[in-house]
Structure 1
Amino acid sequence: MRNTNAIHCLAGVLGLGGVLAMCPINASFAFDPGAAPAANVQTTPVEAFRQGAQAYFAGNKQKAVDALSFAAENGVPAAQWKLGRMYADGDGVAEDDLKAFKYFSRIADQHADDSPGSEQAPYVASAFVALGSYYLTGIQNTAIKPNVRRAREIFTYAASYFGNADAQYNLGRLYLAGSANEKPDPHMAARWLKLAALKDHYEAQATLGKLLFFDDAVGQNRVRGLMWLTVALPHAHGKKDAWIVETQERAFSLASEAERRRAMKLAQNWNQKDIASR
């Protein structure tokens, strides 16, 4: 139990919650990539993960990769996930989407049936989302080709079994867009987007708001649409989120005074509830 608890709290320093200082682990042997093999064998995977996390935030990315690789090869899913993210982002290593894909695939293959309430579940769900995203675009010059159907299957699993908000959002977008073989399904899109929106996924909130305000196909609800756009607005930053600002402003200008008042009241109630729950 000590090892799984350590993984859970150490995991946060690499991106998904937790605080390193709250996770004391009395390592008997330090992980030194330059040490003799016999010494490294005595380092436990969780201890290596801990040291990899410390090295990462100390700016020693090479030591972090060495330690995390040891932990990953010995079955620590959080280490596998972090290495996948590092290779996907070119963070301390040369960007390599195929290596990232392989790390995420290992997590998915080994932990797909883990309980959604398990300590490693956030990493497993995130790995599925990463795999789904790769199948949407493919990986150039590899056997991983664009496969929207496969991406949808993967997102559906992460969205339904793990309840992952990113998967729910991506699934909603796929249903909105449709494909060569399937027509857009705004009703299914709204269903998945709402699940993500209720988890404070601001892009899902904005997309749902746009759908409800402007799309007659879902039974237009301008008040709810403007409400979700307004809730998402404070989280919109940079060029990639400019569409949220523009859409909210457009919806606000088209809404009647009564619709604006009701939408603003709903947004205020949502924000107060959100603050109270933290």
Structure 2
Amino acid sequence: MLTFSVSSAIIGIGMAAFLAMPSHAFDGSDAVASDKTPFRSFKNPHAALQAGLEGFRSGDQHSAVEALKYAAAGGESLARWKLGKMYADGDGVPHDDIKAYEYFSQIVDTYDEDNPNRREVSVVASAFVAVGIYSLNGIPNTKVVANPERALEMFQYAATNFGDANAQYNLARMYLDGADVVAKDGRQAARWLYLAADKGHPQAQALLGQMLFTGHDGVQKQRARGLMWLSIARDSVQPSKDAVLSKKDQWIVDLYDKAMAAASDTDRQVATIYRDDFKNSKHN
């Protein structure tokens, strides 16, 4: 059973700074109260979105959540995304996966691929991935049951049409593990992992590195190339000297350490050359 994190699927999507604005400074009691408070009047949904963002900046959570809900009801995708993320994380509002799923689903269901808003591509892609993860796992004790076919559809769409690294990673995981809706296929998994890894996705880099280092599920063994990806992934999640490594990233460091212990001096030397070349290519 694949159990991916919705929170991790909506991190680092490259939106404007206000989208990443934290709400953890607010407690959940005000959020509950705002659910029971009628919307105040706004000129239009976009004005409500701006008011909501300003509410977060000024520390007025009650006003911000109220405004975002008004904007979301009026079709503002950014407001729906922000609320979905808040409910998925339990960040400033009570944790509620059903509400998160509903807000992300609204973005997916109303997306017009014939007339897309280019400024919202990252938000839309993130919503597709979140709906995919909820569909894959289901939400216990709710009407949202596991639906791998729906998950595959969401991941494939976001991976292909938006080039979203999280979608590519999750799609690769489905091919790696195999499921009722997709046959186990190491080569397909490696293909999607490479696309995500090349965009800087640490988890994809680590899994691709392991596959190449060990030769996994039909993927030809390339020990130095695999060690290169593992090294890049390890560097991406390695905390500063005063920080603590996140538990969810420890497996990446463990894979790297295991590969390094098994690598020859030649493997390590060539991997270092590959890594330097890769980093230089990204800076040029």
TM-score by length of 1: 0.82
Give the distance between the partners of 1:265 and 1:69, measured in 2 at CA.
Answer: 51
Whole-angstrom distance in 2 between the partners of 1:199 and 1:140: 33
Partner of 1:12: 17
- Alignment of structure 1 residues 100-119 onto 2, 5 Å: 100-113=100-113, 118-119=118-119
Separation in structure 1 between the aligned mates of residue 226 and residue 278 of structure 2, nearest angstrom = 13
1:194 corresponds to which residue?
Answer: 194
The alpha carbon displacement at 1:251 in A equals 1.1
Residue 249 of structure 2 is aligned to residue 244 of structure 1: no
Give 1:200's aligned amino acid. Answer: G
Flag the 1:71–1:260 CA change in 2: closer, same or farther, 3 A. Answer: same
CA distance in 2, matches of 1:201, 1:76: 28
Cα RMSD of the aligned pairs, angstroms, is 2.4
Give the structure 2 partner of residue 219 of structure 1.
220
CA contact (8 A) 2:174 2:182 kept: no
Determine the structure 2 residue equivalent to 1:68. Answer: 68
Q: Distance in 2 between matches of 1:36 and 1:170?
A: 38
Change (3 A) 1:197 1:271: same
Letter in 1 for 2:84: G
- Partner residue of 1:95? 95
Number of aligned positions between the proteins: 249
For the 8 Å contact 1:115–1:121, the answer to whether it is kept is: no
Q: 1:263 aligns with which of 241, 265, 271?
A: 271
Comparing both chains, which one has the higher relative contact order based on Cα–Cα distances under 8 Å and sequence gaps of 6 or more?
2
SS of the residue corresponding to residue 119 of structure 2 reads coil
Name the % identity. Answer: 44
Q: How does 1:1-278 map to 2 (within 5 A)?
A: 11-15=16-20, 40-41=41-42, 43-113=43-113, 118-180=118-180, 182-216=182-216, 217-236=218-237, 237-274=245-282, 276=283
Say which SS state the counterpart of residue 94 (structure 1) adopts. Answer: coil
Which whole-Å CA distance do the structure 1 matches of 2:230 and 2:154 have between them? 28
In structure 2, C-alpha distance between the alignment counterparts of 1:184 and 1:266, rounded to whole Å: 29
Deviations 1:242-263 (A, max 9, x none): 1111111111121221111110
Deviations 1:203-245 (A, max 9, x none): 1111110111113420111111000001111222311111111
Aligned to 1:25: none
User: Does the Cα contact within 8 Å between 1:62 and 1:92 map onto a contact in 2?
Assistant: no
Between the aligned partners of 1:10 and 1:48, the Cα distance in structure 2 is: 19
Cα 1:101/1:114, change in 2 over 3 Å: farther
Q: Distance in 1 between matches of 2:103 and 2:38?
A: 25
What secondary structure, in the 3-state scheme, does the structure 2 residue paired with 1:121 have?
helix
Measure the CA separation in 1 of the matches of 2:183 and 2:78.
38
Secondary structure (helix, strand or coil) at the match of 2:118 reads coil
Work out the CA distance in 2 between the residues paired with 1:241 and 1:57: 31
Q: Specify the code of the residue in structure 1 equivalent to 2:111.
A: H
